[in-house]
Structure 1
Amino acid sequence: MNTIFNRLTLFLICLLPVGLSAQSSVIDQVIARVGSEYVLLSELEEQYALAASQTNESLPPDARCQMLDQLLVGKLLYNQSKLDSIEVADSEVESQLNARIDRILSYMGGSIEQFEDYYGQSISATKEQFREDLREQIATDRIRQSVVQGVKVTPEEVKTFFANIPRDSLPYFNAEVEVGEIAVLPEANDETRKATVARLKDIRERIVNEEITFEEAARKYSADGSGQAGGDLGWTKRGKFVPEFEAAAYNLDPGELSDIVRSEFGYHLIKLQERRGNTIKVSHILLSPEITEADVEKSRIFLDSIANLVRVDSMSFSVAVKRNGFDKVQSYNNDGRMTNNASGNTFFEIGDLDPDIYFAIDEMEVGEISEVMEFKGPRGETMLRVVQLQSRSSPHRASLAQDYAKIQIATKSSKQQKHLSDWIEKTIGSTFVMIDERYKPCPSVQNWIEDSRKIVVGNK
């Protein structure tokens, strides 16, 4: 059970779970500095304890050295993000915190008591603990992406990359498939929507009449994770919310409560807390209409009729996706072709497929379309889809003819890594770096000591 929750905490922020005993014995010290960013002994020991908790084998002798190198890279990137004035909006941090905590709660059956028992503190306290670390993670990821985003590869580079792989080292690919989908999101019927609006109107009236505070109402009624914080969505600039929500929020005066606002998420009451120029701090209460079985069945019949049009060649699969598919799923912008999150490409081994999709396509011919299937969307909502088997390959050794797309991705990844490594080496040379004396023998940090505007200090 602890291993499962350790992984959940990694999902939360990629930090050590609260309560691992190793950190309680660490007297914190600064062991390194990169620019204006510091590496603490506790950070290194937390990473070491987490790695040790996830393996039954002893960690290699140089594990701490390797982990320190990675921490230094992270601090270098974060320091550069500040120099480049890369901003991470409060609303983005809150949104990711809420989403990750909601995901963990879903693994715990929605039990707040179980969450608080495991982490030893409330959800609000957990968010407070991880908030700035998540901000650093987002900024670091952003600067890393900005460094490599311009890297491209030519067909000649792909061929050269492949040619340089020794014949006996060529990967052997298992049977793979490519799958397309047309996904739809069932909508609530008029009666249910009207009932939801009426309920939200009643909540608004109670807030206006001071029978309940906005924060109390958010905690009691709001359908999203922000309810735990009284509906607080933090500070944000334009462009972070869906258009309907943003338009209403920016038209409010501080302290003002909106009328009911409809968006793709449901119905909102919005309260503007503060305004600083073009930046606002808002809270909301969200109610989402319940989707009934009749609503789902109506969408099922609609989607089946679209699939039939594709089957009889009255409409191409790509056109069916664009005209009728739900535009918030990842596949929508790729002509319906699904992406394998494990590999980043569109090829799936059988083990990578959702079981329902596997059984649907198992005996299909290429080009065939499944019956309508039900699945859960990213927010846990009921969705429907039909899938099309778009390609199938037999087990084979890698070749340019069959696997060009994969080899192209590998070529680009290798070139990006080289580009990032060169950037890191160059940036170290213009950055003040301090490494504690006890880590000076680490081979993995020698370039930090040798190439930087450095200073090596002893223990204090």
Structure 2
Amino acid sequence: MSKLISLTCLLLLSCGAYAQQRAVIDEVIARVGSEYILLSELEERYALEQSQTNDTLPPEIRCAILDQSLVGKLLFNQSKLDSIEVNDGEVEQQLNARIDRILSYMGGDVNQFEDYYGQSITATKEQFREDLREQLAVDRMRGSVVQEVKVTPAEVKAFFAQIPYDSLPYFNSEVEVGELVIKPQANDSTKQAVIDQLTALRQQIMVDSITFEDAARQNSSDGSARGGGDLGWTKRGKFVAEFEAAAYNLDPGEISQVVETEFGYHLIRLDGRRGNSIRVSHILLQPEITESDLEKSRRYLDSIATLIKVDTFTFSYAVKRFGYDKVQSYNNDGRMSNPASGNTFFEIGDLDPDVYFAIDELEIDSLSEVMEFRGPTGDPLLRIVQLRSRTSPHRATLSQDYAKIQDATKNAKQQEYLSDWIERRVGSTFVEVDPRYQACPQIKIWLEDSRKITVGGDSGRIITGK
């Protein structure tokens, strides 16, 4: 069961549902505004916490979990009041990415996925779609609440000064690494082969030799292939310009000619239009990058590195002038961000092994040789890396660790601001909690601040899940 919960959490970080559909009687145990919390949600999150420890969890853990759930529902309720939107395209993209990640753990075996979850990928996506939409709305609402929070240097110093010396964190040796990334381009003959293939597919679809959906399943190179190319409903601004321009110029049921974007070549079908929203399906083919294409790009990147070494221009200038703008580091002066910490500092264990060996013997500001790696979508990319800084193991100081201390200060201030916002918002929001949980210290605060407490009502209501 713990493995099932863990894989489910790749779909929903809130872990508000198991992969199997509910077939048991359930209860409403709390309400915030128009949002409900079910007993099953509480027990599932408790089971997740239990699966991650060898010890039996104390019963009061349920109080803490319910408190967190109430915060989430309050934020979700407010997101509706503030008309914060999460469009269908965003949800579909997130679902595809998370299912792709699960499939990667299963070696890409769709049959194993469907056996494991007891349903098709399409059915799994449908089950989690609305829960994921809620999670994205909550994240967006939380970001909206704290977006104005800033910290001054004086606040950073004051925050650091209040930490007892014995409690100051001890940092291992860390490095900052810059990267200049380029994306190799396919040669003209390979591109033309893909265009010809899509043109032939379009002709087969037009004469009913194959359906658009089957053509997408058999040929498309992105995650939408499993759903017959369906990208769901979305509004303007979601797709790249070339794709969007072609899609919005189609009539319902019409299939475009071959469209080129940064992702490859597409056939696009308009499936529906609702005001400013459209629903489209596509078939995506990506030209193969040959070894000769890679070698050509290696020589190009190596020549840029040579110009940096002789001070023709700086590494930062080269990133902006020649770098691939779809990687995170492009908008951060070339600095790589550590996903484990959110900042630009890496302990050795956090580095990709190839990057570690590339910088192991570099001097500060020196450049590595050209390296090949794979981007988030599996595309082959090339990069050179620069060692920006290296620290020795040390106890935290303002001079060496200002950026980290600044982040900690900001996080603490944001949490305080969010807590104050929650307290104010609860004062004008209907909150109802099942009597079984009203003795929880965390829950008493909700009931004291709420504008209305109702015992009975919908709380404890029996419902049947599907």
TM normalised by structure 1 equals: 0.97
Tell me the secondary structure at the aligned position of residue 59 of structure 2: coil
Residue 282 of structure 2 is aligned to residue 281 of structure 1: no
Deviation at 1:19, TM superposition (A): 4.8
Match of 1:398 in 2: 396
Match of 2:19 in 1: 18
With 198-207 and 224-233 compared, the bigger mean Cα shift is at 224-233
Match of 2:444 in 1: 446
Distance 1:303 1:3 in 2: 46
With 42-51 and 141-150 compared, the bigger mean Cα shift is at 42-51
Distance 1:112 1:12 in 2: 16
Match of 1:373 in 2: 371
Distance 1:428 1:361 in 2: 52
Match of 1:243 in 2: 241
Match of 1:335 in 2: 333
Residue 150 of structure 2 is aligned to residue 149 of structure 1: no
Match of 1:100 in 2: 98
Distance 2:57 2:370 in 1: 48
Distance 1:324 1:17 in 2: 46
Match of 1:194 in 2: 192
Match of 1:117 in 2: 115
Match of 1:422 in 2: 420
Match of 1:344 in 2: 342
The count of corresponding residues between Structure 1 and Structure 2 is: 456
Deviation at 1:405, TM superposition (A): 1.0
1:270–1:285 contact (8 Å) kept in structure 2 = yes
Q: Which runs of 5+ in 1 are unaligned?
A: none
Deviation at 1:214, TM superposition (A): 1.0
Distance 2:41 2:455 in 1: 19
Equivalence map 1:47-196=2 (5 Å): 47-196=45-194
Match of 1:408 in 2: 406
Match of 2:254 in 1: 256
Residue 383 of structure 2 is aligned to residue 385 of structure 1: yes
**Which of residues 296, 299, 303 is equivalent to 2:297?**
299
Distance 1:259 1:105 in 2: 32
Deviation at 1:6, TM superposition (A): 4.0
Cα–Cα, structure 1 residues 214 and 141, in superposed 2: closer, same or farther, change >3 Å? Answer: same
Distance 1:246 1:367 in 2: 42
* Structure with larger RCO (C-alpha < 8 A, sep 6+): 2
**Which of residues 319, 322, 329 is equivalent to 1:321?**
319
1:27–1:42 contact (8 Å) kept in structure 2 = no
Q: Counterpart amino acid of 2:137?
A: A
RMSD: 1.4
Tell me the secondary structure at the aligned position of residue 216 of structure 1: helix
Distance 1:440 1:33 in 2: 13
2:27–2:39 contact (8 Å) kept in structure 1 = yes
Deviation at 1:185, TM superposition (A): 1.2
Q: Counterpart amino acid of 1:344?
A: G
Q: Counterpart amino acid of 1:203?
A: L
1:437–1:456 contact (8 Å) kept in structure 2 = no
Deviation at 1:456, TM superposition (A): 4.1
1:187–1:291 contact (8 Å) kept in structure 2 = yes
Distance 2:352 2:454 in 1: 52
Deviation at 1:165, TM superposition (A): 0.8
Q: Counterpart amino acid of 2:19?
A: V
Deviation at 1:293, TM superposition (A): 1.3
Offset from partner CA, 1:167-191 (integer Å, 9 cap, x none) = 1111111111000000111111111
2:273–2:279 contact (8 Å) kept in structure 1 = yes
Deviation at 1:454, TM superposition (A): 2.8
Distance 1:183 1:255 in 2: 40
1:175–1:393 contact (8 Å) kept in structure 2 = yes
Match of 1:7 in 2: 6
Deviation at 1:17, TM superposition (A): 4.2
Q: Which runs of 5+ in 2 are unaligned?
A: 462-466
Distance 2:258 2:452 in 1: 58
Deviation at 1:455, TM superposition (A): 2.2
